[in-house]
Structure 1
Amino acid sequence: MSKVNANVIMKTLDWSYEKAVNGFTGFDSAEELAQNYLKNSKDINEAVDSLIRWQVSKSATSGFITGIGGAITMPVAIPANIASVMLVQVRMIAAIAHMGGFDLRDDQVKSFVYICLCGNGAKDILKEVGIVIGTKLTQSAIRKLSSAVITKINQTVGFRLLTKFGQKGVINLGKAVPLVGGIVGATFDGTATRTIGKVAKQAFIIQ
């Protein structure tokens, strides 16, 4: 298997974000997902909580992502399980960001979606790049980020995720795992999904 490094992780994140924002056959976009939950909830907080609960309940089963099927081509050199997990989690975060009124096509918003993937480590990443903000983001704070800061954030996230996946042994164990099947396993556990969802809610939803 080709070497998986931080650059490959970032390419996979970008691939995941594009698929999450635009969707594809059998896989609703983040905006469509958000609208479905908003439509069936009494308010935004209920919609976000419902979305997170659904993601958590499905995260331990391969059926959660069987809809991906062969409709897409995974990034080169990345195990299917890693790419699939990233796609599902990125879409969840992006949907929450959309509910909060953020433009998913802004590079700054995309970077904060990536930060949320690091769960409780999100605040540490912000500190590393010299950003001091409250628990919830504002449109003005995001717009102030320069391209240099965005690049630094993305690089930091890439290394964090590489370490995370490496610790779980996913990079080594994911080589022969098929896309449709038991590809989630311990990698995409409910606890991690719940944590990421809560971080995304704190970041993007003004309560």
Structure 2
Amino acid sequence: MSEKITESKMQQVLDFAYDKAVNGVTGLDSAIELAESYKNDDCLHTQCNSLIRWQNTKAGTSGFVTGLGGLILMPVTLPANITSVLYIQIRMIAAIAHLAGHDLKDDRVKSMVYVCLVGNGAAEILKNVGIEVGKKVANNAIKNISGKVITQINQKVGFRLVTKFGEKGVINLGKAVPILGGLIGGTVDTISTNIIGNTARNLFAGENT
């Protein structure tokens, strides 16, 4: 049996997965490298959509998750599928944020990445902390987010994810087979990942850029 997931543990998992997504893990591109591979003459909106489509179709393949075994070396004990799903989805969101010109080293950007993980619930969380939704989140808007608001966002996201990744939520959101030879196999729920990707695109890049 795995340990009970708490908001504190979830925050540790998010921070760990974010660090790995931004800095990269052996065998996989970092979020920045992934984003750069999608930069072309198309508009930002189209670039983001291409990245999201790739994520939906490739994220669950064994070739993609080779090397994710290192993600299990975490400060807390959580099921491997939760760790791998969060890493995959955080990397996608961070790549979209980078495509839109945001600094992934900024804690404020990191919190906005986290809020995208709740998908359709992101707008409600942002509205509750006083951030206007429905428009592209400009760099200036992110720079005005205070440390207090960052804390509020992270707490609200943590609560949502703890609920989402309950036993039933894990089955619905992501599936994974046991770790074997350092390889995590399985698939990420394409519907959930698509919703999260669209949320990230609309938040960081706007609906029609």
Structure 2 length-normalised TM: 0.87
Q: Residues 17 and 90 of structure 1 are in contact (CA less than 8 Å); yes or no, is this contact kept in structure 2?
A: yes
**Equivalent position amino acid for 2:39 in 1:** L
Question: What secondary structure does 1:137 align onto?
Answer: coil
Count of residues in correspondence between the two structures: 202
Match of 2:36 in 1: 35
**Equivalent position amino acid for 1:14 in 2:** D
**Equivalent position amino acid for 1:180 in 2:** L
Match of 2:141 in 1: 141
Q: Residues 135 and 202 of structure 1 are in contact (CA less than 8 Å); yes or no, is this contact kept in structure 2?
A: yes
Structure 1 length-normalised TM: 0.88
Any stretches of 5+ residues in structure 1 without a counterpart?
none
Match of 1:8 in 2: 9
CA distance in 1, matches of 2:56, 2:130: 32
Structure 1 range deviating more: 89-98 or 161-170: 161-170
Identity %: 52
Structure 1 range deviating more: 149-158 or 64-73: 64-73
Match of 2:76 in 1: 76
Match of 1:122 in 2: 122
Question: What secondary structure does 1:42 align onto?
Answer: coil
Cα drift, residue 45 of structure 1: 2.5
Structure 1 range deviating more: 196-205 or 122-131: 122-131
Cα drift, residue 66 of structure 1: 2.4
Selected match of 1:180 from 170, 180, 183:
183
Q: 1:113 to 1:169 in 2, by over 3 A?
A: closer
Tell whether 2:198 aligns with 1:198. Answer: yes
Question: What secondary structure does 1:10 align onto?
Answer: helix
Tell whether 2:27 aligns with 1:26. Answer: yes
**Equivalent position amino acid for 2:36 in 1:** Q
Aligned CA-pair RMSD: 2.4
CA distance in 1, matches of 2:71, 2:26: 7
Question: What secondary structure does 2:135 align onto?
Answer: coil
Question: What secondary structure does 1:13 align onto?
Answer: helix
